[in-house]
Amino acid sequence: MKINENTTVVIRGAGDLATGIAHRLYRCGFKIIMLEVRQPMAIRRRVALSEAVYDGTITVEGVTARFAQDVAQALKIISENSIAVLIDPEARLLDELKPLALVDAIMAKKNLGTSMDMAPIVIGVGPGFCAGLDCHAVVETQRGHNLGKVIFSGRARENTGIPGEILGFSKERVIYAPADGKIKVFHDIGSTVKADCVVAEVSGTPVEASIDGVVRGMIRDGTEVFKGMKIGDVDPRQIVDYCYTISDKARAIGGGVLEAILYFMNIAPKRSDEYC
């Protein structure tokens, strides 16, 4: 089989950044299967294809993902031009899926078991991967000049732990759980809130917004959370449409992954031929 006869890409993770990757690859003709955990905890749920695990189907910017019970159903879904979301956090089904490329977009900030022998093309997204060691290329995820850059040797920048700045706000726009327990959401995604507004509660402890804005991300109502866990974010730009569209960061990372896959499909084989 020639490498470009297969157009299936498996993506580990299906959160908002992984969704940006999947959306861009799908629009360029690739068949996408996403691997998730049994209970995904996406914050930006309206633009996270992982929600298919709960709701059966989800559409983001015109691209639909459907939950698959098994490999046979996943293959059927992609044959019908939708994205398949399959529960397989350890990527044990790769031998059956036989993808052209594997993209690790779990965003765990460390490698959770991805290796270069998992597929003909293996791409690591963000910190935790080393191009040439455990994957063929790494895509930079840190905001700034190199966001979305494809790295063919070495690593992406380490995570700073500081949320990206929007209109001068960084950590202030992120909402964290004040205690352990089950969350009850009062203001879900798309709601306009003021600073000090109680947007949720965890085990009876109120959760307040720190700034004025629109709730762009909020974990699912009823989720068990732990103290200090990120559970939401408020966008000070107050543009509701941003809650339902892929972020600039996710699009840039998606572009980097697309570039890397096309490079190994079309350019790298020709360069190796020069030395045969």
Q: What is the pLDDT of residues 71-107, one digit of tens each?
A: 999 999 999 999 999 999 999 999 999 999 999 999 9
Instruction: Specify burial of residue 49 (Cβ count, 10 A radius: 0-12, 13-18, 19+).
Output: buried
Q: Please, what is the average pLDDT of the chain?
A: 93
% of residues, the chain, pLDDT over 70: 96
The Cα 84–Cα 231 span in angstroms is: 26
The Cα 140–Cα 209 span in angstroms is: 30
Domain 171-236, CATH? 2.40.50.100
- Against a cut of 0.85, is the pTM above it? yes
Indicate the domain borders of the chain. 3-159+247-273, 171-236
The Cα 169–Cα 93 span in angstroms is: 42
Across the range 146-168, mean pLDDT stands at 88
Q: Which CATH architecture has domain 3-159+247-273?
A: 3-Layer(aba) Sandwich (3.40)
